[in-house]
Amino acid sequence: MTLGAFFFGACSVICVVGALVTILAQNPIRGAMGLLTTIAGIAGLFLALEAQFLAAIQLIVYAGAVVVLFVFVIMLLGPTAGAGRIGEEARARYAPWFSSVLFLGVMGFAMALVGGANTTLTSFAPSELGYGSIEAFGKLLYSEGLVPFELTTALLTVAVVGAIAVVRSAPGKKPVRRLKSATRRMFGGPVEPRDAARSGLLPAQVNDKESTL
Amino acid sequence: MDTLWQLFPQTDFILLAFILGLPLLGAFTNGVFGKRLGKQAVSVAGLAAVGIPFLMSVVAFVMLHAKQEGEEPARFIWTAWRWLTLSKLSVINGVPGEVPVALDVAFSIDALSGTMALIVTGVGFLIHLYSTKYMEEDPGFYRFFAYLNLFIFSMLVLILGNSLPVMFVGWEGVGLCSYLLIGFWFSEEKNAAAGKKAFIANRIGDFGLLVAMGLLLYYTGALDWAGMDANRASLLGEQKIWPLVGDKIWFSPYLPDGIATWLNRERSVSPATLVGLSLFLGCAGKSAQLPLYVWLPDAMAGPTPVSALIHAATMVTAGVYLVCRMAGIFVLSPTAMMVVAVVGALTAFFAATIAFAQNDIKKVLAYSTVSQLGYMFMAVGVGAFSAGFFHVMTHAFFKACLFLGSGSVIYAMHSRIHDSEASQDMRNMGGLRRFMPITFATFAVSWAAIVGFPFTSGFFSKDEILFKTFTSYIALPGAAEGAPYWPREVSLFVFCIAVLTAAMTAFYMTRLVVGTFLGEFRGWTIVKNFQAADGHHNHGDHSAHDHGDAGHAAHATHSAHEHAHANEPLEGPEPHESPWQMTLPLVVLAALALVSGAFNAHVLHSHLLDTWLDPVFASTKGYVQSIEGAEELQLPLLAPGLLAFTFGVGIAYWVYVMQKGAPAARFVAQFPRLHQWAVEKWRVDELYEETVLGAVDTLAEIAVWVDKYVVDGIVARLTAGAVAFSGYVLRQFQTGRVQTYSAVMVIGLGAVGWHFVVPHTEVLTKVDASGGRELQAPSGFGYSYQWDKDGDGKWDSVERTVKVEASAASAIVRLQVTNVFGWARLRKVRPEPTKSDSPTLTLRATPSAMGAKPGISLDGGAR
Amino acid sequence: MTPVMTPLGSALEHYVLLATVLFALGGAGFLLRRNILVQLMSIELMLNATNLLLVAYNRSHSSSLHGQMFAFFIIAVAAAEVAVGLAIVLSFYRLKSTISSDAADSLRH
């Protein structure tokens, strides 16, 4: 078997095993690790398909950001993150089971159709030089894909703001006591008790009231 | 006179509009504005609404008299508007065909209806006058007059109608007014029930009238008097009535031969018999003959003027009027006339037996009315139409006088006894002769008329009837050749019953008079200057106000008062005579009862009424026949009548006056059950209750059961259950969980994907000009085709579209479609002629369409 | 099955097959697991499978790089989506004290 075939086979196995671990693991950390494995496998396949830039992006963004986010949230949630095992509090779930079986079956059927029909497979023609390189990619991205690129920027900004907005507690619920900044404490208003001890001021000049700015 | 003719020409007799319109206007005014107008105005309006039509009827009568000469009946017609036009298949003179039949709202007046209108408006006027005093204290005074006027209007429509449908409107109208007036004091259950009973019994009769109308329309093609008379020959002949459908009954092969033959024998009657019997059913309902007489005695629950007007003088005689009106058609069927006469006789006898045992004066008079109506039907049944009508006239006078007299008595009794049943009970009366002389005198005169005292009007009319029942009968012309006629025995039977009933009438009427007016007063002890112990006012001018709504409280205290005094003998003032508004009508009616005999006293050779009515009954001439030597029997046949009168009055006098009722008491003691049965009216009402009403009740209960268990249980629950079930099923999908929703989405996507993956083989068929077909396969991604155009098993074409010649259009064409996955499907198509150019969408039902397993094409190779 | 006439990884169909398997696994995982985080991870699986398919087809029609660009945008959007999704998960947890997706059934019936 050639090196390419071996590489492809290894990466495929890694992907599939990772996927299985993701969907079957009880512990979500294990699931996240499975996802990471799949992503890594995919990145390898990208390399096999001569999409080097994309492979790098995949690793940076997916493995380096998305999976990390997942892990953060799992650790934040603590033990409760392990909820929802298969079979826990069995309720009527006919539709999901049926459709997942259908899913797998349809996929199998499609595979059979594809596999059975063609007697010859579509081989990859040799690609030109610089295919999948960052320069070629950049050229395309900043010419034809400029608008989507900018929009993606906006999208990411919105996503960040949105995430913060969603997670923030409802405004006004708890009055947040904001402390005065150091600059303000130095140049504006009377001396607060906590600074008085530090700076050795006369007691009379101390302002007892806490600032509630 | 000439101005009259100019104003009211014969064919456009507007006077009828006024005669009809004024009572209607009176009814409307009194009904709508009565409360506001007050009692005086209402009385005046009511009286005018009847009095003026009376005068107009007199005018019309005079004009008729002037016009009528010879055999031609004078008839003045006024057409109001066209009601409807029917176009129907009918058999006229034996020829079937389509005939347009126009029904007009038209009224006419001729000798018969003119006389009847005079009676109705005249007696009606007197009774209106009477009611102004009798109903004075009643809070429903204006309502009463509205109903009375409405009644007069309906009765006039009935009499003056020019066709059966218009008459039917009046027929129903008087039934309605009868219901309204019987149940006038409807707050008491029994009055309302009596009203309902009257209406329903009438309704049963009306069914007969409707059937008759249908039959007449079919056979004669017309429903107005002139049209029916013109075409009445079509009513003769045979009409098969059995077996109803086909030649034999469907289950007759299972019966023994003899019975089957008898059952299947074709029976037919003449249409005239069917019509006559149906019409008589209507008459039986309206005029209280057997078996529908049961409503009349109950109708005495209404105020006495109502009983006098409706149930003595006018409404109940509508049946007799109908028979007279349709005389020309009735005589075509001796069978029907025989039925009329026999039923009349039986009714007369039956009612008389009940009257023997009744103690309520109004009930006695009610049964006497039924009995006298039987007399009238006996008369018209044998063909003596003018004799029957004569009796209608005299009966109207003396019976109305009797009823009004009894009302006067009740009025007097009410001053002390307020219970409605006790104040009408003869056992509480007696000796009223001294206190109410005018009432007694008029009552006695009417009594004389009804029992047949010589030279009173009742004597002449009753004797005429007895004579005619003996001598007259109906036979179709050509009796010698076997045309239908009736046997002599029937006439004799009717005659004997009539004589017997005359004797019985004399007996119970005398009993009534003796019990009410003669002897000692049994109602209460008369105390001079009576003052009631707890100081309520002397009810000198009391009327029947206790029955009104306002009087209910007073009634309650009065009955309590009476109950408190139950142990002490009742004390009260002298019974008093009634005021002039009540006695004047009595006097007038009594006078008429005396002298109206002069109109048709045959023994005294006065044939006024006969000659007057002859033209109306001209069409019956050939059918009403007399036995031989009838003329000589005129005087001798007075004897049975006189004997009946003498015997009846004599025995009654002996029993009740001389023996003070002892023999009667002995009879009752000897046959207590018989007596009880008679008192309970032979329990006919109870029989009806068990059978007819029981059947209706059972039907109703079956319907309730069906409604509860079948409709509610099965149908309603089934549909509800189906809906609930489908809701339950669908609810399973609404779990609120995203996974469920996405799962359903996946299923849907799977279906869509399936649709794209499977090769489709629907064939579009287009017909081109030469009759050939063009078949087109569907297109799809990567589809390849193979056609076998001529059914020979070899593939002919790989195009998407093929053409098939017209000649080969019946061969089966095969199509195989292979898609890009290599999945092939086969379809067999028959390019049949299509009705239009729209594509034929054939169902993919043939199992052979699913040919290939995926991955293997049918024939290994060509792609 | 047909005999493999080309080495693994050198025919388009191999990649399609793999992408299909990954997609199916991701879909099944999403439909069957009740843990919201695992559901999100399954979604990421499905997106990755799609990316693989895109890139494989692009390699098959290698005259331009549009497929890869598309995949690039998918990665970017997926990242944003995960951020927001996890924020929602945290809010959900704050509300229901669990991250079982069965608890999110307010639309029930």
Q: Is the pLDDT of residue A154 over 90?
A: yes
- Chosen from B747, B756, B781, B783 to mutate, greatest number of chain A CBs within 10 A: B747
Mean pLDDT value of segment A91-99: 70
pLDDT computed for residue A160 by the predictor: 93
B746, closest residue in chain C (CA to CA): C27
ω into residue B854 within 30 of 0, thus cis?
no
Contacts with A126 (C-beta within 8 Å, 6 or more apart), sequence order? none
pLDDT computed for residue A205 by the predictor: 56
Least confident of B249-253, B482-486, C88-92: B482-486
What pLDDT digit, counting tens, does each position of A74-84 carry?
998 887 777 65
Strand partners, B96: B91
Mean pLDDT value of segment B774-790: 80
Question: Looking at the domain assignment, is residue A1 inside a domain?
Answer: yes
**Residues of chain A contacting B854 with CB distance shorter than 8 Å:** 109, 112-113, 116
With beta carbons less than 8 A apart as the criterion, state whether B22 and B54 touch. Answer: no
Mean pLDDT value of segment B564-588: 73
CB pairs under 8 A between A and B: 51
Write out the residue range of the structural domain in which residue B848 sits: 761-853
CA distance B363 to B368: 8
With beta carbons less than 8 A apart as the criterion, state whether B652 and B507 touch. Answer: yes
Q: Do B736 and C101 touch (CB under 8 A)?
A: no
Contact residues of B toward A, CB < 8 A: 732-733, 735, 739-740, 742-744, 746-747, 750, 753, 757, 820-823, 854-855
**Mean pLDDT of the residues in chain B:** 81
Nearest to A22 among C6, C27, C45 (CB): C45
**Residues of chain B contacting C99 with CB distance shorter than 8 Å:** none
pLDDT computed for residue B568 by the predictor: 57
Q: Is the pLDDT of residue B219 over 70?
A: yes
Strand boundaries in chain A, DSSP class E: none
Give chain A's length.
213
Question: Looking at the domain assignment, is residue B779 inside a domain?
Answer: yes
Nearest to A116 among B735, B739, B855 (CB): B855
Q: Does C58 touch chain A (CB under 8 A)?
A: yes
Contacts with B670 (C-beta within 8 Å, 6 or more apart), sequence order? none
Q: Do A123 and C6 touch (CB under 8 A)?
A: yes
Q: Is the pLDDT of residue B167 over 60?
A: yes
Write out the residue range of the structural domain in which residue A56 sits: 1-80
Question: Looking at the domain assignment, is residue B791 inside a domain?
Answer: yes
- Chosen from A42, A101, A118 to mutate, greatest number of chain C CBs within 10 A: A42
With beta carbons less than 8 A apart as the criterion, state whether B83 and B107 touch. Answer: no
- Chosen from B740, B742, B818 to mutate, greatest number of chain A CBs within 10 A: B740
Question: Looking at the domain assignment, is residue B830 inside a domain?
Answer: yes
What pLDDT digit, counting tens, does each position of B509-529 carry?
998 998 888 877 777 777 676
Collapse the DSSP code of B240 into the 3-class scheme (helix H, G, I; strand E, B; otherwise coil) and give the result: strand
Helix or strand (DSSP H, E) at C21: helix C12-32
CATH of domain C34-100: 1.10.287.3510
pLDDT computed for residue B529 by the predictor: 65
pLDDT computed for residue B533 by the predictor: 52
Q: What are phi and psi of A206, to 5 degrees?
A: -80, 135
CA distance A18 to B210: 94
CA distance C49 to A42: 8
Could you give the C-alpha distances from B564 to A98, B527, B559, B626, in angstroms and in order? 90, 19, 8, 66
> Which A residues 27-66 touch C at CB under 8 Å?
28, 31-32, 34-35, 38-39, 42, 45-46, 48-51, 53-54, 57-58, 61-62, 65-66
Question: Within this chain, do residues B724 and B794 fall inside the same structural domain, yes or no?
Answer: no
Q: Do C109 and B739 touch (CB under 8 A)?
A: no
Question: Looking at the domain assignment, is residue B69 inside a domain?
Answer: no
What pLDDT digit, counting tens, does each position of B617-646 carry?
888 887 877 777 777 777 888 888 888 899
Contacts with B803 (C-beta within 8 Å, 6 or more apart), sequence order? B768, B772, B773, B774, B775
Least confident of B66-70, B588-592, B689-693, B847-851: B847-851
pLDDT computed for residue B797 by the predictor: 78
Question: Within this chain, do residues A76 and A138 fall inside the same structural domain, yes or no?
Answer: no
Question: Looking at the domain assignment, is residue A213 inside a domain?
Answer: no
Rounded to two decimals, the pTM is 0.66
Q: Is the pLDDT of residue C56 over 90?
A: yes
Nearest to A140 among C35, C40, C69 (CB): C69
| Pairing verdict, β B773-776 and B764-767 | antiparallel
What pLDDT digit, counting tens, does each position of B689-736 carry?
888 888 999 999 999 998 888 888 888 888 899 999 999 988 887 888
Contacts with B116 (C-beta within 8 Å, 6 or more apart), sequence order? B159, B321, B392
Question: Within this chain, do residues B765 and B827 fall inside the same structural domain, yes or no?
Answer: yes
Q: Does C105 touch chain B (CB under 8 A)?
A: yes
pLDDT computed for residue B840 by the predictor: 44
Contacts with C3 (C-beta within 8 Å, 6 or more apart), sequence order? none
What pLDDT digit, counting tens, does each position of A19-36 carry?
999 999 888 999 999 999
Residue B726 burial (10 A CB sphere; 0-12, 13-18, 19+): exposed
B15-67 and B141-160 helices cross at what angle (nearest 10)? 50
What pLDDT digit, counting tens, does each position of B368-380 carry?
999 999 999 999 9
Collapse the DSSP code of B613 into the 3-class scheme (helix H, G, I; strand E, B; otherwise coil) and give the result: helix
**Domain map of chain C by residue range?**
34-100
With beta carbons less than 8 A apart as the criterion, state whether B286 and B171 touch. Answer: yes
With beta carbons less than 8 A apart as the criterion, state whether B163 and B216 touch. Answer: no
Tokens of B338: 């025989």
Question: Looking at the domain assignment, is residue B717 inside a domain?
Answer: yes
| Pairing verdict, β B571-572 and B525-526 | parallel
Q: Does C2 touch chain B (CB under 8 A)?
A: no
pLDDT computed for residue B736 by the predictor: 82
End-to-end CA distance of chain B: 115
Minimal CA–CA distance to B108: which of B173, B17, B25, B171? B17
Amino acid occupying residue A92: A
Q: Do C30 and B739 touch (CB under 8 A)?
A: yes
Q: Do A113 and B753 touch (CB under 8 A)?
A: no
Neighbours of B162 (CB within 10 A): 26
Question: Looking at the domain assignment, is residue B19 inside a domain?
Answer: no
pLDDT computed for residue B795 by the predictor: 79
What pLDDT digit, counting tens, does each position of B392-438 carry?
999 999 999 999 999 988 888 887 777 777 778 778 787 788 888 88
The residue among B509 and A93 whose pLDDT is bigger is B509
Nearest to B739 among C31, C107, C108 (CB): C31
Q: Is the pLDDT of residue B854 over 50?
A: no
Highest mean pLDDT among B9-18, B88-97, B172-181, B756-765: B172-181
CA distance B464 to B96: 44
Number of domains comprising chain A: 2
Nearest to C99 among A1, A12, A84 (CB): A84
Question: Looking at the domain assignment, is residue A198 inside a domain?
Answer: no
pLDDT band at A96 (very low <50, low <70, confident <90, very high): confident
**Residues of chain B contacting A114 with CB distance shorter than 8 Å:** 821
**Residues of chain B contacting A116 with CB distance shorter than 8 Å:** 821-822, 854-855
User: Would you give the DSSP letter of residue A164?
Assistant: H
pLDDT computed for residue B863 by the predictor: 34
CB pairs under 8 A between B and C: 30
What percentage of chain B has pLDDT greater than the value 70?
A: 87
> Which A residues 128-167 touch C at CB under 8 Å?
128, 131-132, 136-137, 140-141, 144-145, 148, 152, 155-156, 158-160, 162-164, 166-167
pLDDT band at B837 (very low <50, low <70, confident <90, very high): very low
Tokens of B105: 């709202």
**Residues of chain B contacting A106 with CB distance shorter than 8 Å:** 750, 753
pLDDT computed for residue B599 by the predictor: 79
Q: Is the pLDDT of residue C26 over 80?
A: yes
Q: Do C108 and B734 touch (CB under 8 A)?
A: yes
Q: Is the pLDDT of residue B207 over 60?
A: yes
Question: Within this chain, do residues B723 and B775 fall inside the same structural domain, yes or no?
Answer: no
Q: Is B725 left (phi over 0), alpha (psi -120 to 50) or beta?
A: alpha
Q: Do B854 and A114 touch (CB under 8 A)?
A: no
